[in-house]
Structure 1
Amino acid sequence: MEARVIFFPAGRSLFDEPLAITVEGLQPQEHVTLSASLRDETGMLFESRALYLADSYGQLDLSCSPALEGGSFSGLEPMGLLWSMKPTDPLRRLVKRDVQSPFRLEVEVLGSHSKCLAKEAHERAFLRDGVKRIQVREGRIRATLFLPPGDGPFPGIIDIYGTGGGLPEYRACLMASHGFAMLALAYYGYEDLPKDMKEFHLEYFEEAVNYMLKHPKIKGPGIGLLGHSKGGDLCISMASFLKGITATVTVNGSIANVGAILRYKDIVIPPLGINRKRIKMDQTGMIDIVDVLNNPLEGPDRQSLIPVEKAESHFLFIVGKDDRNWKSEFYATEASNRLQAHGKEKPEIICYPGAGHYIEPPYFPVCSASMHLLVGSPVIWGGEPKAHAAAQVDAWQQMQTFFHKHLNDKQVGRQNKL
């Protein structure tokens, strides 16, 4: 019997869906290496490897077979081949630019002397069958709307990313598979929007909120916001100044306005000050910027604080305790203190030890360092691969539970199926 790799689900699965991997047809108690790889749309190779021992029947089941020491990970890690992947260029982050095409995952089984015993490919998709992808170009809005299968109406969420600019769609696309109408919103570095981060007007984001509130497929009376990094403080600003925001989730966000002037009507919030003398080097010689921003509770930098106490939204703060971009836990705690001091509901704060700045959907490999556009050089983001991977799985479910609770008034369990 020849060795073969078996995936379940077969052929294709959603990227945030667990993937069962088994191997059969090996020799009893045979030592093998499993190698996994995929290429992003630029051709960059991401790969991992793990060492295994087949059972007495010549079979290998990653759900119950622990990886041996010496590979990209060890222990019982059914999804380890995905979350432990590393790029050929250590400063690259795995990003999906075209959600309409899947990643092609290849798993190879290597025996003694690196002989290939079996090889199989599987598609890791982002756009579930039945999810509608609609480009939005209304007024100034530059966005993509994802609608779940069915007639709706659906709870609506605006999804905003950080300083990378452009229009990332992959998180919104995957969230739509869980019953949410998702608006992935660009705000700079895209089409005719501002080319760089100098000044943002909250009226642009208000236009997006009103678009969602008026959409016939969106379930009211309010909508949700989901923001990562700079997108997090933009979401807090939206919840603080705009009407119609019911639930807000920030992932390693800030309680202060960062990186650009924010204007709304006659209100001007300056960006939080920085001190480049506080840049440090880690033990590998990489730049560590975690202390660069000033304390928004001190001196003139208080002007950069976002008046979160004005918000009528429910809040969930997702925090990576190893975030090296800035002090996310401090910001979340201060937001909680300000809300409660003004008689508002205590927000949920979930802290993940060992998780870094880029908490992505499940099974994305941790990005521990890459180029920071505002700094102009590569920086470390933090994150221990195994702990970070576990945080992404849990945070993904926590977000959905939170949004279903406050936007749907019920929790909806949905299976990811293509």
Structure 2
Amino acid sequence: MVASSFTVLRASRLCQWGWKSWARLSGPPTLSTGGRTTWARTNATLSLEPAGRSCWDEPVHITVHGLAPEQPVTLRAALRDEKGALFRAHARYRADAAGELDLARAPALGGSFAGLEPMGLLWAMEPERPFSRLIKRDVQTPFVVELEVLDGHEPDGGRQLARAVHERHFMAPGVRRVPVREGRVRATLFLPPGTGPFPGIIDLFGLGGGLLEYRASLLAGKGFAVMALAYYNYDDLPKSMDIIHIEYFEEAVTYLLSHPQVKGSGVGVLGISKGGELGLAMASFLKNITAAVIINGSISNVGGTLQYKDETVLPVGMNPKRVKRTEDGLKDIVDALNNPLEGADQKSLIPVERSDTTFLFLVGLDDHNWKSEFYAREASKRLQAHGKEKPQIICYPETGHYIEPPYFPLCKASLHNLVGGPVIWGGESRAHAMAQVDAWQQIQTFFHKHLDGDKRTITAKL
């Protein structure tokens, strides 16, 4: 069940480096003039727990001390990604009668979000440059978040009362990063602290190509050996997806299972978007895929041809006339793909009914990339019709396409490689943020259950 508030979240034991972080800015008292109230107290302190640094998927407790009773203030948060793109959020608050402000107890009065949202300053961030998506490209360095407390309710006009800088890391203490260049496989393996062996997972992203490591690195901190796998547009891999050979993924499974710190006779697959579709293909054609989490994936092949030995899965057709325009002039492509159950497009269907894998489908009900709920339910029908286990499907209302680890802001629109322009991805910021927190726990619980096979381990990890 989706958590109703972020107040129920607890800090991960893996990422607590300290207890408190303080920032202080002092100055002379301010006078009252012209009948307008100004606030004389300037010895405000901004406190964050855990101190100074934490893992990205870990909640932070933010408090402000030393304000005047019921003083109105604005809190701002900002970070820049590795390319220099700026993301920021702000919210208006009022101190309590003792001059204290605790974001776990005080509702925001407006701004980038409203209501009791202790982590809103992160998940509500929006890009300064349109169509930018927050992505961590180098997991060995943190995102540096700057937090400010400003006097009054003007996000760009108030006097700064306090400031703090907080590092948000993507590798928990002891997690090891191992580049993989074995045969054709191009990947990065993340290993938890200790000698293991650990349950193994292959992590796949979507149409952007390249090698994204941030989800794998975070998940390794939860006790899994996670291999972030590139499959095109990286290093010496093909530059396009015209033909994707499933044998490449088979080689990756063989490598992971042969690693001395990976246990069991099977691995898990975690895939989103095109990566979810490829996860379904791996589970359908390959052995040793024990469990798979499919995040907004498709049961029909999209974009290029899938090839495994002498079998071919053709791409589903697309009708550009079904692409709509939003009021902002952006493209809405949710209806663009043909129905894979009709006519020649049935040749695009991935034969999921062959699979003996245990599945978890995570679905954003406002996904505007494609009809993810329809695909998940059709996969379920086909599996059950062939006597296979009914998969678990979790649907999240008002949630868009990119269901990320917790506290990544909603990407409302960005460039689409196949469409060649900006498209909308769906979702409402708060609901999407809540879905990401729940989905992250669902992923961990599912993989611990089906890869560890030890319910005591599941309880210990939550």
Category of TM-score, reference length = shorter chain: over 0.9
- 5+ unaligned residues in a row in structure 1: which ranges? none
Q: Which deviations, in whole Å up to 9, do the C-alpha atoms of 1:233-288 show, x marking residues without a partner?
A: 10101001101010000100001111110100000111111111111011221100
Residue of structure 1 equivalent to 2:150 = 110
Q: Which amino acid aligns with 2:458?
A: V
RMSD of aligned C-alpha atoms? 1.0
**SS in structure 2 opposite 1:23?**
strand
**Does 2:234 match 1:190?**
yes
CA distance in structure 1 between the partners assigned to 2:264 and 2:289 by the alignment: 10
The 5-angstrom pairing of residues 193-212 of structure 1 reads: 193-212=237-256
**Does 2:458 match 1:412?**
yes
Of 66, 76, 88, which residue of structure 2 is paired with 1:47?
A: 88
Deviation at 1:96, TM superposition (A): 0.2
CA distance in structure 2 between the partners assigned to 1:332 and 1:412 by the alignment: 25
Relative contact order, higher structure (CA 8 A, sep 6+) = 1
The 5-angstrom pairing of residues 142-291 of structure 1 reads: 142-291=186-335
Q: Which amino acid aligns with 2:350?
A: I
TM-score (norm 2): 0.89
**Does 2:404 match 1:360?**
yes
Deviation at 1:188, TM superposition (A): 0.4
Residue of structure 2 equivalent to 1:13 = 54
Of 291, 304, 312, which residue of structure 1 is paired with 2:348?
A: 304
Deviation at 1:413, TM superposition (A): 4.8
**Does 2:67 match 1:26?**
yes
**Does 2:162 match 1:122?**
no
Deviation at 1:297, TM superposition (A): 0.4
Q: Which amino acid aligns with 1:407?
A: L
Q: Assess, with a 3 A threshold, how the Cα gap between structure 1 residues 415 and 312 changes in structure 2: closer, same or farther.
A: closer
Q: Which amino acid aligns with 1:131?
A: V
CA distance in structure 2 between the partners assigned to 1:292 and 1:212 by the alignment: 37
Residue of structure 1 equivalent to 2:10 = none
CA distance in structure 1 between the partners assigned to 2:430 and 2:130 by the alignment: 17
- 5+ unaligned residues in a row in structure 2: which ranges? 1-41
CA distance in structure 1 between the partners assigned to 2:139 and 2:366 by the alignment: 29
Of 105, 109, 120, which residue of structure 2 is paired with 1:64?
A: 105
**Does 2:376 match 1:332?**
yes
**SS in structure 1 opposite 2:165?**
strand
CA distance in structure 2 between the partners assigned to 1:123 and 1:309 by the alignment: 45
State how many pairs are aligned: 415
**SS in structure 2 opposite 1:356?**
coil
**SS in structure 2 opposite 1:300?**
helix
**SS in structure 2 opposite 1:26?**
coil
**SS in structure 1 opposite 2:276?**
helix
Deviation at 1:90, TM superposition (A): 2.2
Residue of structure 1 equivalent to 2:361 = 317
Q: Which amino acid aligns with 2:112?
A: S
Q: Which amino acid aligns with 2:351?
A: P
Residue of structure 1 equivalent to 2:392 = 348
Deviation at 1:414, TM superposition (A): 5.7
- Which structure's CA Rg is the greater one? 2
Deviation at 1:415, TM superposition (A): 6.8
**Does 2:174 match 1:134?**
no
**SS in structure 1 opposite 2:458?**
coil
Residue of structure 2 equivalent to 1:86 = 126
Deviation at 1:50, TM superposition (A): 0.2
Deviation at 1:215, TM superposition (A): 1.0
Q: Which deviations, in whole Å up to 9, do the C-alpha atoms of 1:151-193 show, x marking residues without a partner?
A: 1010000000000000000000000000010000000010100
CA distance in structure 1 between the partners assigned to 2:52 and 2:163 by the alignment: 14
CA distance in structure 2 between the partners assigned to 1:219 and 1:191 by the alignment: 29
**SS in structure 2 opposite 1:129?**
coil
CA distance in structure 1 between the partners assigned to 2:215 and 2:232 by the alignment: 18
**SS in structure 2 opposite 1:137?**
strand
Are the aligned partners of 1:178 and 1:414 in contact in 2 as well (CA < 8 Å)?
Answer: no
CA distance in structure 1 between the partners assigned to 2:81 and 2:175 by the alignment: 23
The 10-residue stretch of structure 1 (310-319 or 277-286) with the greater mean CA deviation from structure 2 = 277-286
Residue of structure 1 equivalent to 2:43 = 2
